[in-house]
């Protein structure tokens, strides 16, 4: 069964094409026009061990908020398609990942209900020119698109770049385990 999805989404604000293949090795081109965001998405896919292609452009001159949030929605929608068409998944995924002095935790439940809990007290507002409060918009869009519960916590750290990167690495690993193939539907209700 295919555990791959390709989705295009065009609005007046953004134009995004994304492809996720959970069974292909990472290495796809990730280009959003926001280098730090590319760096985070690359870390997520690489450490999750799946391939992600992103071709995104948008009204960055207005505010990168639209693009970052929409990338979350499209990635989530890709995962939702994998879930619907790729056979049963293990449903829960969890990872705790350090990066130098920072420690971050990600937990995913592919439960059909979107929820985001995001706890990260980042000591700097920006990484390069990237405004780090945008990360919440990405994670919110992701949980919405994937209809999953997503809990992200950076327990501690001193460098916001390290803290964000640890979060994305943990997220990649948690996604990989949550969407790994299972023998049966993992719900006592019999359906998700």
Cβ neighbours of residue 171 closer than 8 Å, sequence gap 6 or more: 44, 48, 95, 106, 108, 139, 150, 152
**Other CB atoms within 10 A of residue 190 CB:** 7
Two tokens, residue 127: 């990484």
Query: What are the φ/ψ torsions at residue 117 (nearest 5 degrees)?
Result: -120, 120
Q: Which of residues 153-192 bind Mn ion (CB under 5 A)?
A: 165
Query: Which DSSP category does 115 fall into?
Result: E
Residue (52 or 82) nearer to Mn ion, CB: 52
Query: What are the φ/ψ torsions at residue 95 (nearest 5 degrees)?
Result: -155, 145
Residue (70 or 165) nearer to Mn ion, CB: 165
Applying CB under 5 A, the site for Mn ion has a residue count of: 1
Tell the smallest beta-carbon distance from residue 123 to Mn ion (Å): 16
Do residues 69 and 141 touch, judged by C-beta distance below 8 A? yes
- Sheet strands side by side (includes 4-10): 4-10, 14-21, 51-58, 30-31
Residue (127 or 146) nearer to Mn ion, CB: 127
Tell the smallest beta-carbon distance from residue 161 to Mn ion (Å): 6
Tell the smallest beta-carbon distance from residue 39 to Mn ion (Å): 6
Two tokens, residue 61: 């001159």
Tell the smallest beta-carbon distance from residue 135 to Mn ion (Å): 14
Residue (56 or 167) nearer to Mn ion, CB: 167
Q: Which residue is nearest to Mn ion (CB)?
A: 165
Residue (73 or 122) nearer to Mn ion, CB: 122
Angstrom distance (rounded) from CA 15 to CA 11: 6
Tell me which residues touch Mn ion (CB under 5 A). 165
């Amino acid at each position: 069964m295919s555990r791959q999805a390709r989705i295009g989404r065009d609005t007046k604000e953004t134009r995004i094409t994304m492809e996720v293949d959970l069974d292909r090795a990472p290495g796809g081109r990730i280009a959003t026009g926001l280098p730090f965001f590319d760096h985070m998405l690359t870390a997520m896919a690489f450490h999750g061990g799946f391939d992600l292609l992103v071709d995104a452009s948008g009204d960055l001159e207005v505010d990168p908020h639209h693009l970052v949030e929409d990338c979350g929605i499209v990635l989530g929608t890709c995962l939702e398609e994998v879930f619907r068409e790729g056979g049963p998944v293990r449903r829960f995924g969890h990872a705790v990942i350090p990066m130098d002095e920072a420690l971050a935790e990600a937990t995913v439940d592919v439960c059909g209900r979107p929820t985001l809990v995001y706890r990260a007290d980042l000591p700097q507002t920006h990484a390069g020119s990237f405004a780090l409060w945008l990360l919440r918009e990405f994670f919110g869009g992701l949980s919405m698109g994937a209809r999953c519960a997503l809990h992200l916590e950076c327990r501690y750290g001193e460098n916001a770049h390290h803290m964000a990167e640890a979060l994305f690495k943990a997220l990649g690993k948690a996604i990989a385990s949550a969407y790994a193939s299972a023998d049966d539907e993992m719900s006592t209700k019999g359906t998700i």
